[in-house]
């Protein structure tokens, strides 16, 4: 082996080592760029845990707990200092006791304990309403996240279909380029194949935009940076699981808005109980101590206990009218709850039938229509390879297959979104 061959051999060996290391490191770099793979359940858990708006409801609920504790506090005592039965200046005191006294006064309101406890229970119930509102918001966020996840999933499937079909078109273009010098094809066919390939790539770019948009929105729901990289589980397939029953009793425990309405009704009932306690009296005690201005007079004091009389007609009118108003409001909310459950029951039956019909339609397209179009393309492609069929007819068969495959994926996306709407309505 001469020196030149030895140099070439060493150079090729170095190039080979470089390529091997490049192939080893490339998957790791790609993985680092793609980020972790998040399942749908993992994303929903992160939204539940990290979303800022949901955290605000927890804080509001905690605030009502402290407000309820504050409602049981007593008013601060009142202390006063002044004069008692002191004559005006330039008045003649007939006796030493007419000089009056200095007075120290202490007064304390003593609230009715039953009133405080009833008010405390009512304020605490407001926290349950905030928690129910959080559940409704979380259900909306979950539906939005599922819709984004499924758009991302279908976009990946579309890209896979387009990439596979692009290989067919590239093959046909190469065949045309080989045949053209021998006058077995036309130059226009080569250009047409080029146009179809670029059109196909534009469709892939559009799906990439859908993926990036879904990633950014999901990041915002998870309280993460909008450009944080992650991938989804591309093997995931949504499954429709209809509810076992749609009776109003089970719906009333499943739907978050009904639970919130129940909490509103319960809170108003507690408010009624609190208003009823207004007929109970409040108490007040006052102590007065007098220091006479005449040293010959003895110190004196007054002790007075007072009680309110809320059953007086001019005072009881307020809370009695408030109680009546809240009772009618509760009756109206109960009627609204019944109407809501009945409407939901019919809506869920209709959505279930629509989903099942869509599933049968997709199954027919996948099992019959697409295989037939695939066979047509395969047959035309074989005939084309034998130079017995023009490229335009093969492109027509190719476009028909691609269009149907994309149509099926579009129908699948509609199906997935219908499932999302069904689940959102079931647990709304």
Of the candidates 299, 305, 306, 285, the one whose C-alpha atom is nearest the C-alpha of residue 103 is 299
Q: What is the pLDDT, as a whole number, of residue 30?
A: 43
Unique residue bearing structure tokens 């017995």: 388
Q: What is the model's pLDDT at position 276?
A: 84
* DSSP secondary structure of 190-231: HHHHHHHHHHHHHHHHHHHHHHHHHHHHHHHHTT--TT---E
For residue 286, the Cα-to-chain-centroid distance in whole angstroms is 56
In angstroms, the CA 83 to CA 120 distance is 41
Q: Are 381 and 169 in contact (CB under 8 A)?
A: no
Give the C-alpha separation, 425 to 360, whole Å. 23
Tokens 């979104």 belong to residue = 417
CA distance 271 to 278: 11
- Other beta carbons within 10 Å of 28: 9
φ, ψ at 191 (rounded to 5°): -65, -40
Q: What is the DSSP letter of 279?
A: G
Give all domains of the chain, ordered by start, each with its CATH number: 37-85+99-426 (1.20.1600.10)
- Rounded CA gap, 251 and 426, in Å? 7
Gyration radius from the chain CA atoms: 41
Phi and psi dihedrals of 92, rounded to 5?
-90, 125
Are residues 317 and 345 in contact, defined by beta-carbon separation less than 8 angstroms?
no
C-alpha to C-alpha distance for 34 and 41, rounded to whole angstroms:
19
- In 3D space, the residue among 212, 83, 240 whose CA is nearest the CA of residue 156 turns out to be 212
Residue 176: the pLDDT is: 67
How confident is the chain (428 residues) per 10-residue block, as mean pLDDT?
50 48 46 71 91 91 89 88 84 74 90 87 89 90 92 91 80 69 63 79 88 91 86 86 79 83 89 85 89 82 85 77 87 88 86 90 90 87 78 80 88 91 82
pLDDT at residue 180, as a whole number? 60
75 secondary structure, DSSP code: P
Contact 127, 110 (CB under 8 A): no
pLDDT at 189: 65
CA distance 243 to 349: 10
CB distance 274 to 125 below 8 Å:
no
Say how far apart CA 100 and CA 105 lie, in whole Å.
15
Which among 43, 18, 34 has a CA at the least distance from the CA of 143? 43
Residue 105's φ and ψ, nearest 5 degrees, are -125, 135
CB 138, CB 260: distance < 8 Å: no
């Amino acid at each position: 082996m001469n020196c030149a061959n030895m140099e070439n051999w060493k150079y090729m060996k170095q190039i080979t080592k470089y390529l091997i290391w490049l192939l080893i490191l490339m998957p790791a770099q790609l993985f680092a760029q793609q980020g972790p793979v998040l399942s749908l359940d993992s994303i929903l858990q992160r939204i539940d845990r990290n979303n800022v708006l949901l955290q605000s409801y927890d804080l509001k609920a905690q605030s009502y707990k402290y407000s309820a504790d504050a409602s049981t506090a007593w008013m601060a005592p009142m202390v006063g200092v002044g004069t008692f039965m002191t004559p005006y200046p330039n008045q003649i005191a007939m006796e030493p006791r007419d000089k009056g006294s200095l007075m120290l006064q202490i007064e304390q309101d003593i609230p009715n304990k039953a009133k405080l406890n009833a008010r405390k229970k009512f304020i605490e119930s407001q926290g349950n309403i905030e928690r129910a509102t959080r559940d409704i918001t979380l259900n909306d966020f979950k539906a939005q996240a599922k819709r984004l996840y499924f758009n991302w999933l279908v976009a990946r499937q579309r890209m896979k279909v387009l990439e596979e079909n692009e290989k067919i078109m590239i093959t046909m273009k190469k065949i045309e380029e080989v045949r053209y010098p021998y006058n077995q094809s036309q130059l226009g066919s080569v250009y047409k194949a080029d146009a179809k390939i670029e059109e196909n790539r534009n469709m892939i770019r559009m799906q990439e935009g859908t993926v990036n948009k879904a990633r950014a929105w999901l990041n915002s729901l998870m309280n993460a940076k909008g450009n944080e990289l992650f991938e989804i589980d591309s093997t995931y397939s949504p499954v429709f699981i209809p509810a076992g029953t749609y009776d109003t009793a089970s719906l009333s425990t499943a739907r978050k808005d009904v639970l919130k309405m129940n909490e509103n009704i319960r809170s108003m009932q507690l408010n009624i109980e609190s208003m009823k306690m207004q007929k109970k009296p409040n108490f007040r005690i006052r102590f007065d101590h007098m220091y006479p201005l005449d040293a010959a007079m003895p110190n004196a004091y007054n002790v007075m206990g007072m009680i309110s009389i809320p059953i007086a007609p001019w005072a009881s009118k307020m809370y009695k009218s408030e109680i009546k108003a809240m009772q009618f409001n509760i009756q109206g909310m109960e009627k609204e709850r019944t109407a809501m459950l009945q409407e939901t029951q019919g809506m869920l039956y209709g959505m279930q039938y629509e989903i099942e019909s869509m599933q049968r339609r997709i199954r027919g397209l996948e099992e019959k229509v697409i295989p037939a179009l695939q066979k047509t393309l395969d047959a035309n492609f074989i005939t084309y390879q034998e130079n017995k069929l023009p490229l335009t007819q093969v492109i027509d068969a190719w476009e028909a297959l691609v269009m149907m495959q994309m149509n099926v994926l579009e129908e699948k996306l509609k199906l997935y979104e219908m499932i999302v709407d069904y689940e959102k309505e079931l647990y709304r």
